[in-house]
Amino acid sequence: MTERRATIGLAAIFSTRMLGLFMLLPVFALYAHDLPGATPLLIGLAIGTYGLTQAVFQIPLGLLSDRIGRKPVIYAGLTVFLLGSVVAALADHIVWVILGRAIQGAGAIAAVTTALTADLTRDEVRTRGMAIIGTSVAFSFAAALVIGPPLARWFGIAGVFWLTALLAVAGMLVLARVVPDPERSMVHRDAQPVLDQLSGVLANPTLLRLDAAIFLLHLTMISLFVVLPLSIEGAGLDPLNHWMLYLPAVLLAILAMVPFIVLAERFGQIRPVLLGAVMVLGLSLLGFRAFHQSLWALAGLLILVFAVFNLMEAILPSLVSKVARAGARGTAMGVFSSAQFLGAFLGGLLGGWAHGSFGADAVYLLGALISLLWIALLATMAMPENLTRHVLALELPTAGDILALERRLLEVPGVREAVIAIDEGVAYLKVDRRTLDWARLQTFSVGA
The CATH number of whichever domain residue 408 belongs to comes to 3.30.70.100
Q: CATH number for the domain including 60?
A: 1.20.1250.20
Looking only at the bridges linking them, the beta strands covering 415-421 and 388-393 are unpaired
In a domain, 448, yes or no: no
pTM of the model: 0.92
Residue 426 bridge partners (DSSP): 393, 421
CB 23 within 8 A of CB 137: no
With bands split at pLDDT 50, 70 and 90, how would you rate the model's confidence at 282? very high
344 shares a domain with 408: no
Cβ neighbourhood burial of 184 (10 Å; 0-12, 13-18, 19+): exposed
Domain finish residue from 159, 192, 225? 192
Q: Is the pLDDT of residue 86 over 70?
A: yes
Q: With pLDDT > 70 as the criterion, what percentage of the chain qualifies?
A: 97
Share of the chain above pLDDT 90, in %: 47
Total number of domains in the chain: 3
**Is the distance from CB of 293 to CB of 234 less than 8 angstroms?**
yes
Please tell me whether residues 363 and 424 are part of one structural domain. Answer: no
Is 407 found in the same domain as 271?
Answer: no
Instruction: State which amino acid sits at residue 85.
Output: S
Final residue before a domain boundary, out of 192, 219, 251: 192
What integer pLDDT is reported at residue 363 of this predicted model?
95
Tens digits of residue pLDDT in 235-253: 999 998 999 999 999 999 9
Residue 406 lies inside a defined structural domain of this protein: yes
Residues 75 and 210 both lie in one domain:
no
What is the predicted pLDDT for the residue at 267?
78
Residue 129 located in a structural domain: yes
223 and 172 in one domain?
no
SS3 content of the chain, % helix, strand, coil (to 5): 75, 5, 20
In a domain, 22, yes or no: yes
Whether 179 and 263 share a structural domain: no
If pLDDT is split at 50, 70 and 90, which confidence band does 447 have? low
The per-residue pLDDT for range 29-79, each reduced to its tens digit, is 999 888 899 999 999 999 999 999 999 998 898 888 888 888 999 999 999
Is 124 contained in some domain?
yes
Position 322 confidence tier, pLDDT thresholds 50, 70, 90: confident
377 and 394, same domain (yes or no)? no
HSE (CB half, 13 Å, CA atoms) of 102?
Answer: 11
What is the amino acid identity at position 138?
A
Do 347 and 256 fall within a single domain? yes
Return d(Cα 81, Cα 100) in angstroms, integer.
Answer: 9
- Is 72 contained in some domain? yes
Torsion of CA 208, 317, 387, 115, to 10 degrees: 100
Residue 216 contacts by C-beta under 8 Å, 6 or more apart in sequence? 343, 370, 373, 374, 377
Q: What is the pLDDT of residues 385-399, one digit of tens each?
A: 888 888 888 776 555
Higher pLDDT, 133 or 290: 290
Q: Is 79 left (phi over 0), alpha (psi -120 to 50) or beta?
A: alpha
The pLDDT-based confidence of 1 (bands split at 50, 70, 90) is low
In our burial notation (b when 16+ CB lie closer than 10 A, e otherwise), range 19-49 reads bbbbbbbbbbbbbbeebeebebbbbbbbbbb
Give residue 258's pLDDT band: very low, low, confident or very high (50, 70, 90).
confident
Q: Do the domain assignments include residue 198?
A: no
| CA proximity to 256, closest of 295, 316, 301, 306 | 306
CA distance 374 to 272: 13
Q: Are residues 360 and 413 in the same domain?
A: no
- In a shared domain, residues 275 and 417: no
Residues 93 and 137 in one domain: yes
pLDDT the model gives residue 193:
81
Is residue 197 domain-resident? no
Which residue range(s) make up the domain with 425? 388-442
Q: 66-70, 164-168, 400-404: which range is least confident on average?
A: 400-404
What is the amino acid identity at position 33? H
Residues 90 and 220 in one domain: no
Boundary (domain end) residue, out of 173, 192, 211: 192
In the prediction, which pLDDT does 383 show? 83
Instruction: Determine the pLDDT at residue 114.
Output: 83
pLDDT at 63: 85
pLDDT in the model for residue 396: 64
Fill in the amino acid letter for 432: D
CA dist 158 → 196, 331, 429 (Å)? 43, 37, 49
pLDDT, mean of residues 179-185: 80
